[in-house]
Structure 1
Amino acid sequence: MNSVAPGQARISIIGAGPGGLTCARILQRLGVAVTVHDRAPSADARNQGGTLDLHADNGQIALREAGLLEEFFKLARPEGQEMRQIDLTSTITSHKVPEADELFKPEIDRGQLRDLLLYSLQPGTVHWGQALDTISGPADGPRQLHFADGTTIETDLVIGADGAFSRVRPAVSPAVPQYTGVSFLEAWFSDVENRHPDIAELVGLGGAHAADGNRALFAQRNSGNHIRVYIIQRVPVDWISQGGLTTDDTDGIRALLLDEYAHWSPRLRRMITDNDGPYVDRPIFALPVPHTWEHNPTVTLLGDAAHLMPPLGVGVNLAMLDASELALALADSATVDDAIRTYEKTMLPRSTETAKILEGGAEHLLSADIPDFGDDNDAQP
């Protein structure tokens, strides 16, 4: 089968995260029809995660192509670029404060970014409650998408923007994410200026990091007077169940953590004891390095589906840059096949280079030096 022109193609994006939505927005802005399918039953079905930064040299480039950069700056928090390093006695040992006009990587809540992109799309673009099961059909198309709800659709291009455990990835690559040996446990703090003033004062307006080489705490200010704390440890992936607990056993997990962090100051340990609600288990996975695949004329990947890396400030930024470049390639190419080749010619070398730099980088999260926590890691699409 000859590859179809993008303007006549049925284009299906799997995953309504920042990458998938950015790609859809730019395609629609360029007059190319697209449909997005997401497993969540609705736009508000799950929490979108914490805060992240968008860099001027990748994420902001994508938003400019999407025509949303001005709206982004209305929502972003430049003050969130503040970073504090704290020792185990709760003393601030390093304090980076952004300049008043610093806009290189301002923070924005993931939910705010998702909504900015989602509600810029034409109504009905996103089909909720459609969890992809398998892809069938010949490599040169058309492809059939089989969803868990029993529906099947035919399409000319499948774009996998469905995150770490992508259901699109097996169509081009046998690679699966591997546990890095480092795990996050997320704790939430609400109305912090009133309910948790000591933690609010310690964290400041951006992020605060403390570590002893084997364990760490990283706290991030979110909008709406919220703080999220990531309790970071080098542990087995099933450390909670190995302790005879479940993720719902907040008191039991807290007791284990207090034992592990017993030598830390009481002020820092409040980030473990005073959280509002249960913990969220977020083990850190990464794809093998390098992760590449043989060209396929009807399937490609972007973001974590293509290059899952440790959460060191690149995940969403690279996903959005991927999305922008793929959308522009589709708008400028004679065929879908040509567009995929153009996109992957740039994306695969870039992601390989970055992944090599960050390989093993999960260990940096435990270092007493300040890592780049520009991107939280939800380990899910």
Structure 2
Amino acid sequence: MRQRIAVVGGGPAGLTFARVLHRHGCPVTVLERDPAPDARPPGGTLDLHEGLGQLALEKAGLSAEFRKLSRPEGQAMRILDLDGTVLRDWPARPDERANPEIDRGHLRDLLLGPLDVQWGRDVTRVVPGEGRGGGALIRFADGRQETFDLVVGADGAWSRTRPAVSPVTPHYTGVNAVETSLDDVDNRHPDLARVIGDGSVAAYGVNRSLVAQRNSGGHVKVYARFRAPLDWHTDLEPGDAEAVRSSLLALFDGWAAPVLDLLRHGTAFVHRPLHVLPVSHTWAHVPGVTLMGDAAHLMPPLGAGANLAMLEGAELAESLAACPEDPDGTVRAFEERMWARASKWAQITTAGLERLVSPDPTEALAVFDQVH
């Protein structure tokens, strides 16, 4: 009898897992809390690495489609001093495929393909040992419940699946982040477009940074990061863009006009404080339930998380398809591999965040000099 497998979460990890299982003819149920694919903005852009995210797409049979959608030019990187002087400028080579960018929305649509996602399925709890032969029971916000032989939690930082295997919750890093956007930047803000270039532009000060990153279609995401208490914004109305803008401009006071214009022209502001799980987060294996991606190893958003999550999804799917007679043994082996690799990347990204939002801005410059 075929295993009943469910993945909770329709992000890069869950969809890659489902897409690879689908490629191998294995049924899987995808449970996503959002009511529809376009229920909320999909987010910014991702650089998919060779050997990680790109390998996952290869396992899903989607490499050719990815190449059509990705933007190798998005790998360009420019660093400015606080007075607007260009300190470093690394253009992307047109034939460079190491870490091409792709919009999250484009990646989501690529992975969705033929998948039958159950939208609007808000999981509230996963109970191990309640399924057939020791699987798991999923409880939903609408009162329904359903059992599966294997439940894979790919439901992000505040996972509803995680408590089934681990009591650990994310903790605040001390770094706050606020995201804003610029639309049609080439036509509406041509001077800023020249400052940003083809990929990303960044400036680093004492305990704060400002990064702008091109998406497709002239859309730019801007990220302000700074060390502050978690509740620094409690006096601001969430929907009062002008109040948030004024507060940010005060935080970055003294920076050059071309840098501050990234905030002055932002259209909306979203508060995203950075939380992480412990660097070496593991758990005692629980039959019928496992985790992947941010649900398993939430780390600073420095380019590794989504790549790891996608590869984990692809690898677990391939392993389950290859060894249907021992799914529990397959999951145990997967967890051991995931923990070892994720711990290494969590150490790298944790150290990276310390240097990129540092009392000494030269630390940030040194990070980029090491990788270019």
Using the size of structure 1 for normalisation, the TM-score is: 0.92
Equivalent residue of 2:274, what SS?
strand
Of the three residues 92, 111, 117, the one matched with 2:111 is 117
CA–CA separation in structure 1 for the residues paired with 2:343 and 2:27:
30
1:223 aligns with: 216
Equivalent residue of 2:266, what SS?
coil
CA–CA separation in structure 2 for the residues paired with 1:323 and 1:39:
19
Of the three residues 292, 297, 305, the one matched with 1:302 is 292
Instruction: Extract unaligned runs of 5+ from structure 1.
Output: 1-6, 373-381
1:317 aligns with: 307
Of the three residues 121, 124, 136, the one matched with 1:133 is 124
Equivalent AA in structure 2 for residue 312 of structure 1: L
1:249 aligns with: 240
Using the size of structure 2 for normalisation, the TM-score is: 0.94
Q: State how many pairs are aligned.
A: 360
Of the three residues 306, 310, 317, the one matched with 1:327 is 317
Alignment of 1:109-258 (within 5 A): 109-121=103-115, 125-138=116-129, 141-241=134-234, 244-258=235-249
Alignment of 1:322-361 (within 5 A): 322-333=312-323, 334-361=325-352
CA–CA separation in structure 2 for the residues paired with 1:173 and 1:234:
29
Q: CA RMSD for the aligned pairs?
A: 1.4
1:80 aligns with: 74
Equivalent AA in structure 1 for residue 279 of structure 2: V
CA–CA separation in structure 2 for the residues paired with 1:349 and 1:133:
29
What per-residue deviation string (whole Å, max 9, x for no partner) do you get for residues 204-236 of structure 1?
010111011211100000101111110111111
Matched, 1:100 2:90: no
Of the three residues 291, 298, 301, the one matched with 2:281 is 291
Q: CA deviation at 1:288?
A: 1.1
Q: CA deviation at 1:98?
A: 2.0
Segment of structure 1 superposing worse, 357-366 or 26-35: 357-366
Instruction: Extract unaligned runs of 5+ from structure 2.
Output: none
2:261 aligns with: 270
CA–CA separation in structure 1 for the residues paired with 2:241 and 2:29:
40
CA–CA separation in structure 2 for the residues paired with 1:258 and 1:341:
49
CA–CA separation in structure 1 for the residues paired with 2:135 and 2:344:
33
Q: CA deviation at 1:307?
A: 0.5
CA–CA separation in structure 2 for the residues paired with 1:61 and 1:120:
20
Equivalent residue of 1:153, what SS?
strand
Q: CA deviation at 1:336?
A: 1.4
CA–CA separation in structure 1 for the residues paired with 2:137 and 2:225:
41
Segment of structure 1 superposing worse, 80-89 or 208-217: 208-217
CA–CA separation in structure 2 for the residues paired with 1:112 and 1:350:
27
Q: CA deviation at 1:263?
A: 1.0
Equivalent residue of 1:309, what SS?
coil
Equivalent residue of 1:359, what SS?
helix
Contact 1:232 1:365 in 2 (8 A): no
Contact 2:178 2:225 in 1 (8 A): yes
Contact 1:182 1:363 in 2 (8 A): no
Identity level (%): 48
CA–CA separation in structure 2 for the residues paired with 1:31 and 1:111:
26
Equivalent residue of 1:20, what SS?
helix
Contact 2:135 2:289 in 1 (8 A): no
Equivalent AA in structure 2 for residue 18 of structure 1: P
Contact 1:36 1:126 in 2 (8 A): yes
Equivalent AA in structure 2 for residue 309 of structure 1: M
Equivalent AA in structure 2 for residue 187 of structure 1: T
User: Which structure 1 residue ranges, 4+ long, deviate > 3 Å from structure 2?
Assistant: none
